[in-house]
Amino acid sequence: MNSPRTAPPGPAIRPRRLRRTPALRRMVAQTRLHPAELVLPMFIREGITEPAPIASMPGVVQHTPDSLRVAATEAVAAGVGGLMLFGVPTHRDPVGSGATDPAGVLNVALASLKAELGDATVLMADLCLDEFTDHGHCGVLTPAGTVDNDATLLRYAEMAIAQATAGADLLGPSGMMDGQVAAVRAALDDENLIDTGIFAYSAKYASSFYGPFREAVDSTLTGDRRSYQQDPANRTESRREVALDIAEGADLVMVKPAMSYLDVLADTAATATVPVAAYQVSGEYAMIEAAVANGWIDRDRAIMETVTSIRRAGAQIVLTYWATELARNLTVAG
């Protein structure tokens, strides 16, 4: 005789209970985004009278001085935590003279935003020579054509003084030269610029995801940066880079890019004794915008999910080209 079929006993433990309603999900969410943790990277280009769109980064432009002021003011009004500026000069030379010239495009923009916004935001500058050199490398070259680490440090020291004097609150050395944080700190301290901080690009990889950025800064680089930026195959050396930068005086550290380096970010968050940031770079932005343009992905959800996952992995601060838009949406959503 067959006994009647009964449903098998269900599981007693049901994690789905906490996912049932939006209110339950909201209450148990472990990661929340706040506008103040977002940093907006911005490009200022010399010699243009209208903002210039960047084709591979739909919605991002190279700014004129006026459009930069407007966009910066909007970002601050939206609650964005800070602004990271990049300069695109008209004239380039082997040593990147425009980077240290007080009349150079980036230094003038810093001074103008400082005058406009004062201490209402955190004003930051990318401290690197690649936008200013005619060969497009992040440092000066030896006669043989390799990047000369120690000669580059002297240029970074001068650049640090120029940017701090122009009004930057934090400087972002991003060239991956050995000793760059110590060189920048020493130069600032020598000039008694003791309140200017260092937001170090500490774990920075030689990444294909910087592709659209090359368009954004009209890069002249031929070749690659693999002799100074990190090999994507390596995880442990990021611990070394981060520890060195903190020992040399970094006030904040950054992992870059973000999405392919969440393991590195988690390592950094577990050990760093200073705030940790991650940079959702141009290629990460471009991939999502391209998929959206094809109707392949939900834009708002993709933006939210990627930035949330970067925060979840350990970044307290996220640099993202969507900062203003995201800050506005977060404010509306409460």
Name which of 126 and 169 has its Cβ closer to ligand PBG.
126
Q: Which of 156, 199, 205, 213 binds ligand PBG (CB under 6 A)?
A: 213
Name which of 116 and 309 has its Cβ closer to ligand PBG.
309
Question: Considering only 113-121, 126-134, 190-198, 247-255, which stretch makes contact with ligand PBG by CB under 6 A?
Answer: 126-134
Does 43 bind ligand PBG (CB under 6 A)? Our answer is no
Does 199 bind ligand PBG (CB under 6 A)? Our answer is no
Q: Smallest distance from the beta carbon of 9 to ligand PBG, in angstroms?
A: 53
Residue of 45, 155, 185, 204 with catalytic role: 204
The β-bridge relationship of strands 52-53 and 61-63 is antiparallel
Q: Quick check: 99 and 106 in contact, CB under 8 A?
A: yes
Closest C-alpha among 238, 255, 260, 232 to residue 314:
255
Name which of 76 and 132 has its Cβ closer to ligand PBG.
132
Active site residue 114: no
Does 228 bind ligand PBG (CB under 6 A)? Our answer is no
Active site residue 256: yes
Does 126 bind ligand PBG (CB under 6 A)? Our answer is yes
Closest C-alpha among 29, 39, 19, 33 to residue 334:
33
Residues 253-292 that bind ligand PBG (CB under 6 A): 281-282
Q: Quick check: 134 and 93 in contact, CB under 8 A?
A: yes
Q: What is the total residue count of the chain?
A: 334
- DSSP conformation class of 334: -
Closest C-alpha among 48, 44, 52, 50 to residue 69:
44
**Distance separating the N- and C-terminal Cα atoms of the chain:** 62
Residue of 45, 92, 135, 256 with catalytic role: 256
Residues with catalytic roles: 204, 256
- The residues that touch ligand PBG, with contacts defined as CB under 6 A, are 126, 128, 130, 174, 210, 213, 225, 281-282
